Amino acid sequence: MIWLKINFFAVLALASGMLVAEPNLKKIFSVEFEPIREMSGIAKSKRYDDVYWVHNDSGDMPRVFAIDGEGKVIYPGWMNVYGELAVEGKQEWQGHSIKIAANIDWEDIATDNEFIYIAEMGNNGNARRDLGVYVIPELNPRVVGETRALKYLPIRFPDQDNFPGERWHYDCESLFVFQDKLYFISKHRKPGEIAGYEKGAVLYRLDTQHTDKFNVLTRIEAHEAITLATAADLSPDGTRLAVLSYQQLWIFDKPSRGDHFFSSTSHKLDLDYSVMGLSEAITWADDETIWIGNEGRSIYSIDANQVPVYKE
């Protein structure tokens, strides 16, 4: 699927010209562990110190990896495995296996104080009817080697009746947790054109947690300027929402009431694909610092306070 993403950028670049990356956006490290081959999501643990959960994109085994603040892989020390450096007589660590799960198209990951949430929400052709979220009790990556999905929450968009629909607005690569509920941001394509795109994104909320029938998302609001949202995360103090796309970093202040983030004060930073690559992972390292990861396993950091206010 990489060629499709490159094609996306080619279209974006022709439409808007080359984008400039903010000098304050700095590469801090690369994840050198080979099994993390196409990083598509990252989320900082709220339960364990110096732990960041990451996962690969579509078609991988159902597994997650833990890395520390320097990008080194974390694994149970008692197991006969090794990390970045080969050790004679040991096998390469293959990640924390998640039983009763499948990675058809995992696109984002989020955490709260209890669970890991994995968005099985990739929907390039807008025709899938098995979208959903895996709910996994967060394991201690330094002790536990594998776990199982506690449940799978089937999800449906409220305005999609046909598969594919007349509009191709039912792909999703952005998941975050706010006030104990899961939220999603859509990614839009031109109808019938997997490599085409449309501007705009919609914010949705999950209000139910059925496991035996579809959970219909609640539509909150739309944003007309976000293009191809690829990840989202809420700051640890809950005051700012970061939304990533291939060409932009957005930050939305917490609304004074409710959850209409798109209607609150916003900040925007243009990103340069030639610098950033295919950026599909975002998390807050702390209340001031955002990490952005790309599928080439590079991690970039930026001070959120340096992202300018967006003016239409």
pLDDT score of 291:
98
Q: How far apart are CA 187 and CA 9, in angstroms?
A: 14
Answer for the pair 134, 117: CB distance below 8 angstroms, yes or no.
Answer: yes
pLDDT score of 311:
87
Read off the pTM.
0.93
Q: How far apart are CA 252 and CA 16, in angstroms?
A: 23
pLDDT score of 202:
98
pLDDT score of 312:
80
CATH numbers and ranges of domains, the chain: 2-306 (2.120.10)
pLDDT score of 22:
56
pLDDT score of 24:
81
Strand order in the sheet with 215-216: 108-111, 115-120, 132-137, 151-156, 215-216
Token digits for 165? 């629909």
Q: How far apart are CA 286 and CA 237, in angstroms?
A: 9
Q: What is the pLDDT along the chain (312 residues), one digit of tens a residue?
A: 444 554 544 444 434 444 445 558 999 999 999 999 999 999 999 999 999 999 999 999 999 999 999 999 999 999 999 999 999 999 999 999 999 999 999 999 999 999 999 999 999 999 999 999 999 999 999 999 999 999 999 999 999 999 998 999 999 999 999 999 999 999 999 999 988 899 999 999 999 999 999 999 999 999 999 999 999 999 999 999 999 999 999 999 999 999 999 999 999 999 998 889 899 999 999 999 999 999 999 999 999 999 999 988
pLDDT score of 196:
87
What DSSP element (H or E) covers 7?
helix 2-16
